[in-house]
């Protein structure tokens, strides 16, 4: 066949194809409709493909530092793909965990499933059961959502990729409800627009708090839980408050008595927040531990199941009775220890709020006291009764070595030295 004949056949074939593409009454078409050329049809198809490609590319763009979670890329172990701790977002329907998944996490965690349109599933870790509430999670079950979370790798038991919502160093993780656009953030899905926060209670108690800024407090303790960068509260009786940068010491009841928790305050969230409590006040302090800093959010009065007198009675038990012999013979060995002595005051010297005493603490069988010690005591208030010579007193204080001075006769005198915390007169 010659070249000319080939060209002619190709031209005829194109003409026939063009005719068959045109609408006609014989072909069942509508004669009134304008015929669509092959070029127009191909152009429309190409435009549709381009639009779909652009939409797909737009959907898969990074969003505020989160990359699109392509299932095929992340459906492998983090140690193999090197993508552990990557911030990703994934779309799908939030679903209740299966019985297998529930048995895996027991009563420790909140873990749900995210199912995509193609039926592929992700495991989504949403919080610790002792710490968080799942009330708002339940509201999202069955809805189309977009999850912004941290990729953890592939679950060896479920054999699906997993992500984690809870990240205490970066609070940007959240779930976005597709229909409403509403966002729920990682600490109990707090709605930031409503300015409501969920708090943890450092006293290991479940309780509900209603106030201007606080919504709910849950138990804090979990063996592997890091309290850094987390919202907390501490309750107790004020023992001491120092000026800013301040420290507030709170007395708390334990199974074995009482303890003191120290909250070191680096800064306040607002200038209007003040720690103006006095010893004995019962307070709850709300604060955020942010690395090395403690930021106080607010304070309020609270109720405790103990009184100040109970605390003091328990505290005085920590002071141990001691003899003059031990005070005088081993002053360095017992320095700093809490001790208790009873004796007769033989001299009093007052300087403003500070009182210096010489007290005989060894009682003979005839009821006469001997063996002198030197005592320094600072009054807590001007309302305290004065201490006079010949008073019989009980001293609770700290052994502070030896005290030396020159007597009125010019001789050097050295006595065991106590710094008293409490003095009670019989």
Per-residue model confidence as pLDDT tens digits over 161-216: 999 876 544 557 778 888 888 777 654 333 333 333 333 333 333 333 322 233 33
Q: Do 218 and 183 belong to one domain?
A: no
Q: Both 175 and 206 in a single domain?
A: no
270 and 249 in one domain?
Answer: yes
Q: Is residue 204 part of a domain?
A: yes
Residue that finishes a domain, picked among 147, 173, 192: 192
Q: Alpha-carbon torsion 135, 137, 140, 146, what sign?
A: positive
Instruction: Evaluate whether residue 287 is within a structural domain.
Output: yes
- Assess whether 303 and 332 both reside in one domain: no
Residues 263 and 368 in one domain: no
Model pLDDT for residues 41-89, shown as the tens digit of each residue? 445 544 444 444 444 445 678 888 899 999 999 999 988 899 998 999 9
List own/partner pairs for 26-33 with CB under 8 A and 24 or more apart.
none
End-to-end alpha carbon distance in the chain = 135
Q: Which 3 state secondary structure label does DSSP give 94?
A: strand
Q: Which domain holds residue 248?
A: 197-309
How many alpha carbons fall within 13 Å on the CB side of residue 74?
Answer: 26
Same structural domain, 257 and 339: no
Q: Which tops the pLDDT comparison, 260 or 221? A: 260
The backbone torsions φ and ψ at residue 28, rounded to the nearest 5 degrees and listed phi first, read: 85, 5
Q: What angle do CA 193, 197, 200 make, to 5 degrees?
A: 165
pLDDT tens per residue, range 96-111: 888 888 887 756 677 8
Q: With a cut of 70, say whether residue 28 has pLDDT above it.
A: no
For residue 188, is it left (φ>0), alpha (ψ between -120 and 50) or beta?
left
Q: How many CB atoms lie within 10 A of CB 422?
A: 15
CA distance 228 to 225: 9
Instruction: Indicate the burial class of 137 (C-beta count within 10 angstroms; 0-12, 13-18, 19 or more).
Output: buried
Classify residue 305 by its DSSP letter.
S
Which pair of tokens denotes residue 344? 């007769």
What's the Cα-to-Cα distance from 69 to each of 72, 73, 118, 423, rounded to whole Å?
Answer: 9, 8, 14, 70
Here the CATH number for the domain that contains residue 295 is 2.40.50.320
pLDDT for residue 241: 83
In this prediction, residue 38 has a pLDDT band, given cuts at 50, 70 and 90, of very low
DSSP-derived 3-state class of residue 216: strand
Q: Are residues 288 and 178 in the same domain?
A: no
More confident site: 217 or 37: 37
Query: Residue 207 falls within a domain, yes or no?
Result: yes
Torsion angle of the four alpha carbons 163, 168, 169, 170, in this order, in degrees rounded to the nearest 10: 60
Are 72 and 188 found together in one domain? yes
Residue 54 within any structural domain of the chain: no
CA nearest 96: which of 137, 131, 128?
Answer: 137
How would residue 336 be classed by pLDDT, with cut points 50, 70 and 90? Answer: very high
Q: What pLDDT was estimated at residue 247? A: 83
Q: Kindly state the tokens that stand for 273.
A: 């927040």
Decide which of 161, 192, 223 is a domain's last residue: 192
- 22 pLDDT above the threshold of 60: no
**Percentage of residues in the chain having pLDDT higher than 90:** 31
Residue 181 falls within a domain, yes or no? yes
- What is the pLDDT at residue 270? 62
For 84, the token pair is: 């552990």
SS3 content of the chain, % helix, strand, coil (to 5): 20, 40, 40
For residue 176, give the H/E element and its range. strand 174-177
- Specify the number of domains making up the chain: 3
Least confident of 4-18, 224-238, 308-322: 4-18
How far is 133 from 188, CA to CA, in rounded Å?
Answer: 6
In a domain, 20, yes or no: no
Residues 179 and 72 in one domain: yes
Q: Assess whether pLDDT exceeds 80 at residue 250.
A: yes
List the CATH number of the domain containing 120: 2.40.50.140
Query: Are residues 250 and 358 located together in one domain of the fold?
Result: no
Average pLDDT on 395-424 reads 93
What DSSP line would sit under 118-146, residue for residue?
A: TS-EEEEEEEETTT---HHHHHHTTSEEE
If one compares 294 and 189, the residue with the highest pLDDT of the two is: 294
Residue 134 counted as domain residue: yes
Q: Which of 148-162, 213-227, 350-364 has the highest mean pLDDT?
A: 350-364
Same domain, 188 and 72: yes
pLDDT top residue among 375 and 265? 375
Q: Residue 140: its pLDDT value, please?
A: 82
As given in the structure block, the two tokens for residue 283 are 């307070």
Between the CA atoms of 6, 7, 11 and 16, what dihedral angle is there, to the nearest 10 degrees? Answer: 0
Q: What is the mean pLDDT of the chain?
A: 74
Binned at pLDDT 50, 70 and 90, residue 277 comes out as confident
> Does residue 249 contact residue 286 with C-beta atoms inside 8 Å?
no
CA distances from 7 to 2, 3, 4, 39, 122 (A): 9, 6, 5, 21, 59
Q: What per-residue confidence (pLDDT) applies to 170?
A: 57
Cβ pair 357, 416 in contact under 8 A:
no
pLDDT band (50, 70, 90) for residue 3: very low
- Of the pLDDT bands very low, low, confident and very high (cuts 50, 70, 90), residue 308 is confident
Query: Phi, psi at residue 318, to the nearest 5°?
Result: -80, -10
Question: Does residue 332 carry a pLDDT above 50?
Answer: yes
132-170 confidence digits (pLDDT tens): 556 667 778 899 999 988 898 998 888 999 998 765 445
- Record the pTM: 0.45
- Gap between the Cα atoms of 208 and 44, Å rounded: 61
Let me know if residue 374 belongs to a domain.
Answer: yes
Same domain for 201 and 172: no
Position 136 scores a pLDDT of: 65
Query: How far apart, in whole angstroms, are the C-alpha atoms of residue 121 and residue 84?
Result: 18
Angle at CA of residue 316, ends 313 and 320, nearest 5°: 145
Helices vs strands, H then E, count in the chain: 9, 22
Q: Which of 192, 211, 228 is the last residue of a domain?
A: 192
Other CB atoms within 10 Å distance of the CB of residue 419: 14
Question: Is residue 125 within 8 Å of 147, Cβ to Cβ?
Answer: no
Other residues' Cβ atoms within 10 Å of the Cβ of residue 38: 12
């Amino acid at each position: 066949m010659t070249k000319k004949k080939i060209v002619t056949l190709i031209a005829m074939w194109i003409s026939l194809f063009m005719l068959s593409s045109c609408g006609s009454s014989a072909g069942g078409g509508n004669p009134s409709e304008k015929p669509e050329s092959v070029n127009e049809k191909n152009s429309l198809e190409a435009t549709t493909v381009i639009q779909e490609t652009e939409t797909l590319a737009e959907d898969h763009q990074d969003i505020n530092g989160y990359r699109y979670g392509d299932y095929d890329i992340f459906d492998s172990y983090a140690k193999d793909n090197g993508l552990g701790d990557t911030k990703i977002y994934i779309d799908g329907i939030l679903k209740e965990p299966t019985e297998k998944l529930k048995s895996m996490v027991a009563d420790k965690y909140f873990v749900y499933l995210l199912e995509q349109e193609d039926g592929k599933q992700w495991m989504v870790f949403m919080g610790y059961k002792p710490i968080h509430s799942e009330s708002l999670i339940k509201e999202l079950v069955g809805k189309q959502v977009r999850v912004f979370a941290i990729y953890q790798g592939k679950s060896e038991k479920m054999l699906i990729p997993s992500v984690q919502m809870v990240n205490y160093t970066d609070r940007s993780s959240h779930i976005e409800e597709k229909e409403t656009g509403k966002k729920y953030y990682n600490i109990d899905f707090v709605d930031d627009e409503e300015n409501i926060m969920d708090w943890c209670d450092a006293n290991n108690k479940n309780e509900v708090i209603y106030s201007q800024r606080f919504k709910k407090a849950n138990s804090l303790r979990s063996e592997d839980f890091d309290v850094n960068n987390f919202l907390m509260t501490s309750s107790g009786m004020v023992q001491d408050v120092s000026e800013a940068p301040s420290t507030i010491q709170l007395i708390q009841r334990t199974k074995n008595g009482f303890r003191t928790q120290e909250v070191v305050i680096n800064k306040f969230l607002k200038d209007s927040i003040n720690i103006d409590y006095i010893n004995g006040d019962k307070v709850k302090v709300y604060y955020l531990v942010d690395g090395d800093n403690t930021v106080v959010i607010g304070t309020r009065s609270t109720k405790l199941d103990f009184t100040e007198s109970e605390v003091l009675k328990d505290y005085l038990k920590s002071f141990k009775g001691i003899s003059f012999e031990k005070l005088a013979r081993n002053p360095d060995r017992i320095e700093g220890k809490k001790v208790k002595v009873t004796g007769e005051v033989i001299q009093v010297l007052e300087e403003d709020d500070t009182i210096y005493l010489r007290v005989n603490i060894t009682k003979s069988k005839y009821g006469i006291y001997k063996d002198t010690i030197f005592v320094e005591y600072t009054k807590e208030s001007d309302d305290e009764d004065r201490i006079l010579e010949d008073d019989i007193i009980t001293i609770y204080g700290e052994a502070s070595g030896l005290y030396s001075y020159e007597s009125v006769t010019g001789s050097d005198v050295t006595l065991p030295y106590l710094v008293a915390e409490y003095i009670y007169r019989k």
